[in-house]
Amino acid sequence: GATRAVAAVDLGATSGRVMIGRVGDGILELESVARFPNGPVAGPDGLHWDFSALYGHIVEGLREAFRREPGITSIGIDSWAVDYGLVSGGRLVAEPFHYRDERTADGVERVHARVPFAELYRRNGLQFLPFNTVYQFAVEEGVDDADAALLIPDLVAFLLTGRRVAERTNASTTGLVRVDTGEWDLDLLDRLGLPASVLPGLIDPGEVVGTVQGDLADALGATTPVIAVGSHDTASAVVAVPMTDAATAAYISCGTWGLVGVELDAPLVTDAAREAGFTNEGGVDGRIRFLQNVAGLWLLSESIRAWEADDGAAIDLPSLLDAAAAVTGEVALFDANDPRLSAPGDMPERIAAVLAETGAAVPRDRAALTRSIVESIAAAFADAVRTAGELTGRALEVVHIVGGGSLNRLLCQATADRTGLPVLAGPVEATALGNVLVQARAHGWCGPDATLEDLRARVAESVPLERYAPRGDAR
């Protein structure tokens, strides 16, 4: 059959991209059209995103994608979770806050004073993370005056199409959606004094959001639809994890964060899951992403940022990782999930302080600190994989690592060693592939009634995976 194309907009916390995805018989390909940096911007009232700049890059990337491939059939958008923009009179009111902004600490107190965390967990199924949207809303001044609060991918879709929706996988990360019904928790909103009127209707991946409007209609085609995908980047990534048996596989979607867990058919909202810090996020096709947020490459990228500022020069990541791999002797481990490592800042200094508290020898140079970071992330990954197995009663046999972290050989091997399980690494662009595949399926290009298993089989056929065997003595 013919090869057909869609555009995928994929926004991560440290970089964004626009890609053309091509799908045909035995073909699943990505062409990178635009890549642009992303990150927190410090303003007088806290950390924000430069959404205006991001949107500019997205539009430019889409224009270029349609220049290269005029036959693009639709556009799908995914991004990091929890953050939103307030819209009034059809316009974005202010640059959205960044989830690492510390203002949410007050929000946590306010929310938990009205609805204790144990109850919140039974309702929304989410691991405690201080930046979940529910806590941001609790300290958001403009929320009562806004027409709508739109999560980042929904905001992009709104600017492209004029249609206001809330895509369900990403909405599940707000804390305001019931884990049992998948609908907005109106009773919770009421008890928290939050206006339900700002929350748009929920839609599922595969549904049409709207068609491209205004100036862009000329460049992108007046009838080009935006199709809802798993608009939470992690939901799209999980679509493209090439698991052959989801009952015995764990996955780690590793970029800025490492999202470590398993896929379930129904939520698991037990006391044990709550105490272990496991989340039940909504997946594509109503699946549950039962996982834990582990600090991922953030710890490394933020350290590199500090070193580059010191040097006034760029650092070559592959060389740094080679040097880290060559470090011999005891590696000092710290808790990768320590909340003090969450905000931007002088990460090497902070990690040194955390290590000093534990009495560990503080690594003497950049290579040694990099080794500590990578091994500490792998240790937290292994812990989360083991806990996921225990909580679900599953005998896990393999760990899939997808996303940018799948290219980090030191991290993949350390994860194999520390879990005692083989690691299958790849695809690196899982999120964009999941975005493309959900669009392709909506167009009927993947056969009638294609399941997630069918989509994953396509990934497994078209992407080479790297296998890391656990080294027994290192465990």
> Which member of 101, 185, 233, 383 binds ligand LRH (CB under 6 A)?
233
Structure tokens at 85: 């923009």
Compute the 3-state secondary structure of the chain and give helix, strand, coil in percent, each to the nearest 5. 40, 20, 35
Residue (255 or 389) nearer to ligand LRH, CB:
255
User: What is the full DSSP assignment across 372-425?
Assistant: HHHHHHHHHHHHHHHHHHHHHT----EEEEESGGGG-HHHHHHHHHHHTS-EEE
Told to check if 82 binds ligand LRH by CB under 6 A, we report: yes
Told to check if 241 binds ligand LRH by CB under 6 A, we report: no
- The answer to whether the bond into 242 is cis (omega within 30° of 0) is no
Task: For residue 187, give the amino acid letter.
Answer: D
CB of 145 to ligand LRH, least distance (A): 26
CB of 173 to ligand LRH, least distance (A): 6
CB of 104 to ligand LRH, least distance (A): 12
3-state class (DSSP) for residue 125: coil
CB of 70 to ligand LRH, least distance (A): 31
Told to check if 13 binds ligand LRH by CB under 6 A, we report: yes
Residue (342 or 413) nearer to ligand LRH, CB:
342
Contact predicate 391/270, CB 8 Å: yes
Nearest to 80 by CA among 154, 136, 163, 137: 154
Told to check if 51 binds ligand LRH by CB under 6 A, we report: no
3-state class (DSSP) for residue 60: helix
Residue (13 or 192) nearer to ligand LRH, CB:
13
> Which member of 38, 104, 172, 293 binds ligand LRH (CB under 6 A)?
293
Told to check if 75 binds ligand LRH by CB under 6 A, we report: no
Residue positions counted in the chain: 475
Task: For residue 194, give the amino acid letter.
Answer: L
> Which member of 6, 65, 81, 148 binds ligand LRH (CB under 6 A)?
81
- Concerning whether 187 is annotated as a catalytic residue, the answer is no
Residue entry with tokens 């941001």: 136
Told to check if 256 binds ligand LRH by CB under 6 A, we report: yes
Told to check if 295 binds ligand LRH by CB under 6 A, we report: no
CB of 357 to ligand LRH, least distance (A): 26
Q: Between β-strands 288-295 and 423-425, what pairing exists: parallel, antiparallel or unpaired?
A: unpaired
Q: Is 116 exposed, middle or buried (0-12, 13-18, 19+ CB in 10 A)?
A: exposed
Residues that bind ligand LRH in the complex, under the rule CB under 6 A: 12-13, 80-82, 99, 232-234, 255-257, 259, 293
